[in-house]
Structures are given as structure tokens and as C-alpha cells.
Amino acid sequence: MARSPYHGLERRAFWRTGVEARESFASSGLFRPRFPITPEMRVATAGSCFAQHVGRALRAAGVAVIDAEPAPAGVSDKVAKDHGYRLFSARHGNIYTPAHLAQLAREVWDGFKPAEPVWPLGARFVDAQRPSVEPLGLASEEEVRWHRARHLAQVARAWAGADLFVFTFGLTEAFVHRDSGTVFPMAPGVLGGEYDPARHVFHNFGVAETVAAFRDFAALLRAANPAVRFLVTVSPVPLAATASGAHVEVATVRSKAVLRAACDEIVAEDDGVDYFPSYEIVTSASARGRFFAPNLRDVTDEGVATVMAVLRAAYGLGDAVAVPEAAALPPAAGGLEETRCEEMLLARFAAGAGPGAGGS
């Protein structure tokens, strides 16, 4: 009689020993890196709100996280982050979708010109591709264009100089310019501009589109930086709002499922890409929901710390702390790690006004 194919597998292959009986996420073999991250590496980060944690954790572990557009010394983190500094390796704000990421790379290296590059904000103007970095706007369209030209040069510098590019997939929902296909990071009308159904259309990206967009991005980056490798994650933060017509909880599961499936396809066919399971850690049944704040959306400090402990342990960075299973921990002590998540502005629309893609 043939032996079962499950015979001899590691303990982590079985739920009882891999989940029920594990002592900590960090020691459970949840993540085995394809390639190392060392303090000598230069790392670029981008993505959704949750990606900000990854950059901070790597920096705290002594990894050289690139900051191509640093804030002036002496300015507090609050003021800096309110204006897009100290969040990612360049001052592009949150990049929620791979389509937006690929579009930015095309703008940097392939001559792409986004439609509606400048949105009015009252009497002032914002960069439609990163409206959050100057929340009060600039004095003229020309000034916005000047800032963007300089920003693109710094994006190129940050990304081309990276040994590792870390990207957190956040959303599948976006608003798109109907004629040109230009993807916007925020719905028109939220942080500038004005929603016009004749010009703007909601789009909910599928798995194939998400995979293709990331591959387009990776190809462009590798053309400039052939040795770069990628570490991708999926944000565990649920959507704040959906424009899909579905219930936001259903839309969240759809969005995360698409992103997770896309990551699987990407990693399966590209040895230069690895997947880190931050989504799985935070949403794990073994966490019993405790990694979410009382609003069931924000990830608690404890959840972030757990994710980052697994990351550091896997790469042997810093003094990885064994984070015990959630059930063994005392109640979370409140205090959410602050991230800049402009899509939270959508909460203003909770009463029912305005278009707005939610995200994580």
C-alpha cells in the first residue's frame, strides 16, 4: 500500500501542529525567504498605508531604507508625514494598486503623461497623482508641474538605486480617466478635482489585470535596475469604503482575494519576487481578531509588531522577539501605530455623499 503524500511533511504543513500548537508566529516557519535581506542592502518601499510599517520596521532593524526626498531636519514626524515625507522611499504618497505603480514607472521611464495631471483645490492646485502630499495645494498649475518633474527624478533615483523593492498591495478599486485609462490614487473630488461621470469611471481590477500591471512595473524597473528583487505583501487592512455596489465586507474579501491570488501567480513565475504573509498573520484565525482595533479595520500596534517580528526573524534582522500566540497575550493596550492613510478621508463621505474608493 502506497504511503500518503502527507507522510513525512514538516509540522508546519499541518493545521494542528502548524497553527494550534505553535508557540509564536515568528518561530513557526510561517515565512521562509527566497533570498536574504541584509543590512547592506538598499531597500525601496511603496504601497498602501500598511507598507509604511514595513519600511519603519526595516529601518529599525538597521536596513538602509532609501529616502530620496527627505524632510528637513528638525521637522516633526507629524508635519513631515502630513506632507508625504518619511513615508516611502520617495514622496509619492500611498500607491494602492499595481496599476498605479506601473503607471508611475511608465511616467518615470517610458514617457507616459497622465491625464488631468493637476486638479484644482479651491483656488489652489494639487498633483492629481499624489494629492495628499500638499494638502493645502500649490499656487499654480505650473508650480504643481514643476514639483512633479522634480519628484519623478527622485522616484527614478530611489527605485533605480534599490537592491530590494518592497510593495504592499492595498486595493483593487480605483477611479480611472475614462478616455486615457489614467489611474488616480484617489477618487476625484476627495482631495481635489471634481468627480465627473463623463470623464471618470470606477474600475475594480481583477487578478489578470493585477498580475499584468505588476509585471509591467517589474519589467520597467528591471530595465533600469537589472539586479533588483521584490518583496510583495498584501495589506490586511479592510476597505474603508467601496464603490463597487457590494457590501463593504464582501468587497473587502473580493479585493483581498484578488490581490492574494495575483501575488501567488507573480511569485510562482518569477524567482526574483518573494511574498511575505502579513495579510495572513493579521487575519489569522489564531489571532482571534485581536490584531484589529475596535473598529475592526485598523491594525493594532500589537498586530503590526507581530508582523514585523516575523519579518525580522525570517531575515535574521535585529533581535527578533518571539511574539506569542494571541490567546496568550494580555489585551491590547490601545494606541494604533500612526500611518498616513488619506483614504480615511472617505469617512467624511460615510453619510452617503460623493464617490470614493476605499482601501487599505
Interface residues with another protein (CB under 8 A)? Answer: 69-76, 79, 82-83, 133-139, 143, 146-147, 150
Give the residue with the Cβ less far from another protein, 132 or 168. Answer: 132
Give the residue with the Cβ less far from another protein, 138 or 243. Answer: 138
Give the residue with the Cβ less far from another protein, 66 or 228. Answer: 66
Contacts of 288 (CB under 8 A, 6+ apart): 326, 327
Amino acid at 106: R
For 33, the grid coordinates are 525567504
Contacts of 148 (CB under 8 A, 6+ apart): 117, 127, 129
The DSSP letter of residue 285 is G
CB of 85 to another protein, least distance (A): 8
Give the residue with the Cβ less far from another protein, 87 or 243. Answer: 87
Give the residue with the Cβ less far from another protein, 67 or 301. Answer: 67
Instruction: Answer for the pair 274, 230: CB distance below 8 angstroms, yes or no.
Output: yes
Give the residue with the Cβ less far from another protein, 76 or 180. Answer: 76
What is the C-alpha to C-alpha distance for residues 133 and 125, in angstroms, rounded to an integer?
12
H helix or E strand, kind and range, residue 273: strand 273-275
CB of 118 to another protein, least distance (A): 14
Give the residue with the Cβ less far from another protein, 75 or 248. Answer: 75
CB of 283 to another protein, least distance (A): 36
CB of 123 to another protein, least distance (A): 13
CB of 87 to another protein, least distance (A): 13
Contacts of 207 (CB under 8 A, 6+ apart): 258, 261, 262, 265
Instruction: Answer for the pair 55, 64: CB distance below 8 angstroms, yes or no.
Output: no
Instruction: Answer for the pair 169, 259: CB distance below 8 angstroms, yes or no.
Output: yes
H helix or E strand, kind and range, residue 47: strand 42-47
Phi–psi pair at 174, nearest 5 degrees: -155, 160
